[in-house]
């Protein structure tokens, strides 16, 4: 069975992430979408909320499972019997950081392969940071995240500011 792991902060999940999840689900038998800690970012939304949004957004995709983990990505892969990390690439600007992480993960476990999938062109401008920025300024989140999340994101960000 070909098992892949798609890791990230998903703060919040965007239509760009969901595009990658769908593509990965067609390529692998099983895809774990795992919320991990990025030590250089403090999340805006709780882990519970991020899990709930991911679960609801992917409920129709049978071979996708949403999960979270607090340690190293390579240890999570080990736990799930996988050696494949899926990452989405939007632009050349993503490359340097992703390249560094891919090499570090390979150093930590030489059996691990990082596979990059190109995001659909229409999402190439999209990121969780952009979504938060747009929401902070009360502009429309239409088309950036699934419709059911829009009101909740707007309310949660309003409460925080
Ligand atoms: O969506 P992000 O914030 O770009 O995702 C980054 C993430 C969470 C995948 C990355 O920070 C990560 O893998 N964190 C877990 C700790 C780890 O294994 N770090 C990489 C090797 S040092």
- Span 14-68, pLDDT tens digits: 999 999 999 999 999 999 999 999 999 999 999 999 999 999 999 999 999 999 9
Mutate to test the pocket of ligand 1, among 4, 6, 8, 21 (most ligand atoms within 8 A of CB): 8
Q: How many A from CA of 77 to the centre of ligand 1?
A: 13
61 pocket-lining for ligand 1 (C-beta < 6 Å): no
In ligand 1, which atom is closest to the CA atom of 74? 18
Q: Own/partner pairs for 70-77, CB < 8 Å, 24+ apart?
A: 70/36, 70/37, 72/108, 73/5, 73/7, 73/34, 73/36, 73/105, 74/105, 74/108, 74/109, 74/112, 76/5, 76/7, 76/32, 76/34, 76/36, 77/5, 77/109, 77/112
- Span 98-154, pLDDT tens digits: 999 999 999 999 999 999 999 999 999 999 999 999 999 999 999 999 999 999 999
Domain ranges of the chain: 3-123
3-123 architecture in CATH?
A: 3-Layer(aba) Sandwich (3.40)
pLDDT at res. 145: 98
Is 124 among the catalytic positions?
no
Residue 161 has pLDDT above 80, yes or no: no
**Which residue's CA lies nearest to atom 17 of ligand 1?**
72
pTM of the entire structure? 0.97
Among candidate residues 41, 122, 138, 160, the one labeled active-site is 41
In ligand 1, which atom is closest to the CA atom of 73? 18
Is 107 among the catalytic positions?
no
Q: How many A from CA of 8 to the centre of ligand 1?
A: 6
Is 41 among the catalytic positions?
yes
């Amino acid at each position: 069975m070909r098992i892949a792991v798609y890791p990230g902060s998903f703060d919040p999940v965007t239509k760009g992430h969901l595009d990658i999840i769908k593509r990965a689900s067609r390529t692998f038998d099983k895809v774990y979408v795992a919320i991990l800690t990025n030590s250089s970012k403090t999340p805006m939304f709780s882990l519970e909320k991020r899990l709930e949004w991911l679960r609801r957004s992917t409920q129709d995709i049978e071979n996708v499972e949403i999960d979270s983990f607090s340690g190293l990505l390579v240890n999570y892969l080990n736990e799930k019997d996988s050696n494949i990390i899926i990452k989405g690439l939007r632009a050349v600007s993503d490359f340097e950081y992703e390249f560094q992480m891919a090499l570090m993960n390979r150093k930590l476990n030489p059996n691990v392969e990082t596979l990059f999938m190109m995001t659909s062109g229409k999402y190439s401008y999209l990121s969780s940071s952009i979504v938060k920025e747009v929401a902070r300024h009360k502009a429309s989140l239409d088309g950036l995240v699934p419709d059911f999340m829009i009101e909740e994101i707007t309310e949660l960000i309003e409460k925080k500011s």
